[in-house]
Each structure stands twice: as C-alpha cells, then as structure tokens.
Structure 1
Amino acid sequence: MSFDQPAEGEDPALTNRLHVAVIMDGNGRWAQERGWPRLVGHRKGAERVRQLVRACPEVGIRYLTLYAFSTENWKRSTEEVLGLMSLFARYIKREADRMAREGVRMRIIGDRSKLDPKLGAIFDWIEAETASNDRVHLTVAINYGGRDEIRRATCAIAEKVRDGRLDPAQITDATISAHLDTHALPNPDLVVRTSGELRTSNFLAWQAAYAEYAFTETLWPDFTPEKMTEILHEFGLRERRFGGAK
C-alpha cells in the first residue's frame, strides 16, 4: 500500500493518518471589516492555528498543513510582510514548549532563500526540537508556491541526470514526489479554503491532485475546531475513487 494513497475503501481517519491542508484566507478582511489594521487579523488568525493544532488529535487529523505565506504575498505592503515574518517567529518561540509537550512535529516548507537568515535559523531550530514528535505533524508553508516547488524539484532532478546519477528513463511520479518539500508527508486527503474564495492559489499543486476540496465562507479568524469538525463530517460522506470507476 502506498503511503501517499489509502487502500481502496480505507478511511484515512480510521488509520490515524488523515492529512488536511488549509488555505488560511480572510485575516486582513476580518480586521478591515472591524476597522482594524490587517495585522490584527493575522494575530487573531495565529490564535486559531493554536486552537486547531491542539484539536487535531480529537478530530482525527494527524497531518495538518497550513498555507501561511505564498510566493506572491511579497506584493503586499512592506509593513504587512514584515509584520507577518515577525509573527511567524513569535508564534514558534511561544509555542515551542507546548508543541514539545503535546507531541507536535513542526516542519516549514517553501523557498527559504529569500527569508531573513535569523528567521531561517528559527525554522531550523524548531524542526530539530520537534523532530522526534509524532502525534501531530504540523507543516507551515512560508514563501511557498506549488509551481515554484515543482520548478525546484525539477532542477534537482535535472542536476542528478546531468551528473549521471539518474537515468531519465527511470524518472517516475515517485521520483518527483521524493524531491518535493513534502517528501516526508502523505498527500493531503482534504484541502480546505476559508473566506469564500473558490481557487486553489498555487497550493500543493502536485500533491493535491486527488484530494477532496471544501470551501467555506468563514473567514480564518472565525474558523473554529467545531467548524473543522463539521467539514470533516461532510468529507467523511464522500466516496473517493482516485480515478477508478464506481
């Protein structure tokens, strides 16, 4: 049985390996609707992350992947970008002890080359500190884009071919998956997008090929564990065939 795909008829939730990915959208809108700066919405959104991570074991999620900052988000104001980067660092430092106690393993995916080296060092530190944890796998996508990830994977594969370490005829889907940022994770079973937007925004373009999608009008700062439970219940009623006939 492939780690990335459940066996026919198998429920990932029952095998304790349900992978839910979330496009966390609506922080800025939530704040603006209340007349507050956008960063207030991002801080409130970080509180929701904490609540959802703690609820994961209860709702049956072992792998939670969150889209926090895309390769396109650099277009936002300097104030907002710097505020978000500071928020990422504060969240990790504040939650490190809790993650250790509660068995949360944290990973950061995305291109770190454009990030401040100090922030990169914090990412390296939290990944090392939580490497032995296995209760919940929290992955946060920062400076991440699905196309960029595939481009980077393609470059790495091309280098191996150039150096004679890889035969082009032997390149398979598994080869590509092994060179992605998510190589240590199963593919997502469910991708949730908040705030009413109906697009995938370049998130897990390769990995989510057979994922189910759920879209909700709820803005991320209002997205509670109870709302996730509601979505998971609806997801549990779907029949997944992975391209096979009914």
Structure 2
Amino acid sequence: MKKSIILLSMIFGLFAMYACSEDDAATDNDDDNDETTGDVVATPTLAFDEFNASAVTVSFDGDEITIVSNALPNHTSPYWSANDDLYIDPIVADEESISPGNITEASYTLTVPTEPELASTSTETGLGAIGISVTGVPIYNQSEGPTDVTEGTASGFDWSGGHSGPTGYHYHVEARDVGETSPLTIDDDELLGIMSDGFLIYGRKCNSIGDYPIDGDASNGHYATTQHSTEEFYHYHIVNEIYLNTYYLLFGVDLQGTQNAIM
C-alpha cells in the first residue's frame, strides 16, 4: 500500500513539473510576440501609406525608419512658379505679404526608431525643420528667424499654412478650409506627419473619440488608438488653441521624445 502511495506521488510530481514548464514556455512565447515593451509601441506602418509617394520615400531597416522627402507638395499654392500646373493666385494670402521665393526641390532626411520612447525630459524645438508632413513639406514651429511669427508674416501664408523662407517652403500653421481639396488636416483627425522624435502627429481631433482629446499632456500627446492602429500608442495632436487670432500652430510645444536631426 505504501509503495502505491509513493508511486502515485512521484507521478503527480512529474506531471506538475511538466505542466509548469509548459506554462513558462507559453509565457515566453507571448512575450516574444508582444509588440509592446511597457508603454513603448511600434509606430504603425499603415500610417506611412498617407504620405505623398511623389515626394516621400519611407524605408524600414530593423529597428529604424528613414523618411526622405524632396519637399515638393501635392497641392496648389501661390508659392509655385507661375508656369507650374499647381500655381494659383493667392486665396487667403495677402499678396503684398507673400514672401520671396518659389517652391523648389529640396532634400530632407529623418531617421527615427520604429519604437520611439518618451524621454525623461522634454526638448524645446528650434529653428528649421522639426518634422516632415504627409505632403513632404517640412513642419516648422512658431519661430521665423530671430523672432516668432508675427501677424504680418502670417498674412502671407497660403491656404495650406505655408510660405517660403531662406531654407525653402515650409508649414507653420494648420491649413484653412477654402474649398480646395486638401491633403492636409483641417480641424479633423487626419494624419499630419511625423515629428523629429519619431512620434506621429494628427489633427486637432482624435479618431478614438471623434473629438478633441482631453487627456493630452503638455505637448497634446497621449496614448490612444487611431485609424492606423487598433492598439493604443503615443502620438501628438495639433493643440486646439488659436494663435494670432486666426491660426492653429502645427507644433508650438516641446518634443516629448528624443529629438533626431532632420538633414
């Protein structure tokens, strides 16, 4: 009788050990297949389908994404040369305030991690390109040379929120609804582009709720699903605050991730 009890105990023990090892293996496999590491989620590749293929090339190499743009937008503007098919007379821009220079080809390259992470401290943006839009045009902050954008400068912005400067054509503010077919966000949840820290930026509204987000951080970034991912990931939205009584700055706040150079 004692031998039978001992034999049964040995069999039960072996079964328990096997069961535990199977559970551990399943957990390891689940961890390997999980795209998240804490709060870090890979940038949804579907979002890059929104970029203007005539201007932007996106390549994936391991844990990096490289975005290369020639900065030639796919929309009309008075900043095109007069003989270009996309040239139009000024719609919202004050003709006397239009800055000199036409839209011309340029080169911008941004390499970011596929899984951008929030930094321990935020980073103030500076002069020049701080992101690349879906049209391929660089995104600028509120600065224009040594000072912030003034009403006089802003009155020369075209309907897409852009103008020419010493470094070429770029955007400062959200596009304006003037009846043109726009590839840019206009008070909606559409993708605007990618910032230099690797986080995507969307319009003033969030697809997850169909309205303006109320849980944004100091840079109006938050974790939520979008039209590009059913999994929540960190992304920015245009801050829903009027600038100079008329405009919405595309990005007049700090970067919450680690800044990468746009060359």
The structure with the larger Rg is 2
Asked whether the two chains share a fold, i.e. TM above 0.5, the reply is no
| Higher strand residue share | 2
Task: State the TM bucket, normalised to the shorter chain.
Answer: under 0.3
| Higher helix residue share | 1
Larger relative CO (CA 8 A, sep 6+): 1 or 2? 1
